[in-house]
Homo-oligomer: A and B are copies of this chain.
C-alpha cells in the first residue's frame, strides 16, 4: 500500500544493470565521456530535435531551477500555477538560482494554468515604460501537481498566450512519461511542436535511481546552463552513471513501459477509491496520481493498517468529526503491484 509518491519505489532492474555495466574501466569526468555524448544524441532523436542542447542532472529541483535560471533575468517574473512544484515544494530554489526573480502564481483547474488568468497576469506586468518587474518565462507542469494532464491544445493555449507577450515556455516534466502515455502523442508534439522552449524531462519518478534531463529546443542561451550547473554543484564528476541510467531508460521504450505500468495501476486504484463510502474524486484520474476526499474515519483505518499516502487537508488522527472529508493524494509507480491495490481495497471498503 505504498502510494506516498512515485519516488518511493525501487529503480527498474534494467537501470541497475546499466549502471553495473557502466562501472568498467576509465571515463573522463564532468560529462566528457562517451556515454554522456551518446545520451545527448539519443535524446535529440527521441525529441526529433537535432539542434537541441541536452544536459543530465541528478535532481528534479535542480533541473527546474537551472532551466528557469537560464531563461529568466533576475528582474523578471516566472509565471506558474499556484500549485506548481516550483512554487510550493522547492524551498525557493527558482528564486535562488535566478538571483532573485519573482514567481507569480496563476490559477486554473486541476493544476493547469488558465490561459485567461495568464493573459491577465502578464498584462499587469510592466510594459517596458517603467523599471518594475518584467515579464519572464511561463512554466507548466505536465503531469500537473494536482494530477491533471494538459491536452496538446491546452498546452498550446497557454504557450500562445505566453508567446503573444514574448515569453519563453518551460515544461516541468517530472512525470513527462506518464503524461505522454496518457496523450498517446510524440515527445516532440508535447513540447516544441506545442510551443515549449525547454523541458525538464524527468526520470527519477519513473524508475531511475536519480537522473533528470533538461533539453533546450532553442539553443540560444543554453550555453549558460553549463556554467550554472557547474557552480550549482550539479555537474557530476562521474556523469557516466547518469548517462547509463538514461540510456537504459530510452532503450526499447523502457520509459514508456514503466509509465504505462504506473498509469494502469492508478486506473485500477481509482476504481477502488470511487467505491470508498463517501469518497469523491477531485477530478477524473489522468495519469498516475489520484486526488480524492473520503471520511476521516476511513483515512484513519487505512493509515493504521499501513497504507502510505499524503493526507493534504486536516489531521486524520484528530478528535474532530470522523465523517469530515479529508483529501488524499495517491501516487502509483511502475512497481505498484496488484497486491498493493488489493490490500488497499481490503482496508478501504470494509464499511
Interface residues of A (CB under 8 A from B): 2, 4-5, 7-11, 16, 19-20, 23-30, 57-63, 65-66, 73-77, 87-93, 95-103, 130-134, 204-205, 209-210, 224, 226-238, 241, 308
Contact = CB atoms under 8 A, between A and B. Distances in A.
Q: Which of A26, A99, A226, A231 has the most CB of B within 10 A?
A: A231
Q: Which of A58, A63, A97, A132 has the most CB of B within 10 A?
A: A58
Given A26-B8, A103-B102, A91 B209 contact: no
Nearest to A128: B223
A103 B8 CA distance: 31
B99 A100 contact: yes
Q: List 3 tightest A-B contacts by C-beta distance, closest first.
A: A62-B233, A95-B100, A75-B227
Nearest to A8: B26
Contacts of A5: 29, 237
Nearest to A227: B75
Contacts of A60: 233, 237
A97 B90 CA distance: 16
B236 A233 contact: no
A8 B28 contact: yes
Contact of A232 (B20, B26, B96, B204): B96
A10 to B, nearest CB: 5
A29 B7 contact: yes
Q: Which of A59, A77, A237 has the most CB of B within 10 A?
A: A237
A229 B59 CA distance: 12
A52 B77 CA distance: 29
A255 B29 CA distance: 21
A227 B27 CA distance: 33
B91 A131 contact: yes
6 contacts: A8-B29, A10-B26, A59-B233, A74-B96, A74-B231, A96-B231
Contacts of A209: 19, 23, 238, 241
B93 A30 contact: no
A100 B231 contact: yes
A199 to B, nearest CB: 17
A344 to B, nearest CB: 14
A44 to B, nearest CB: 21
A24 B4 contact: no
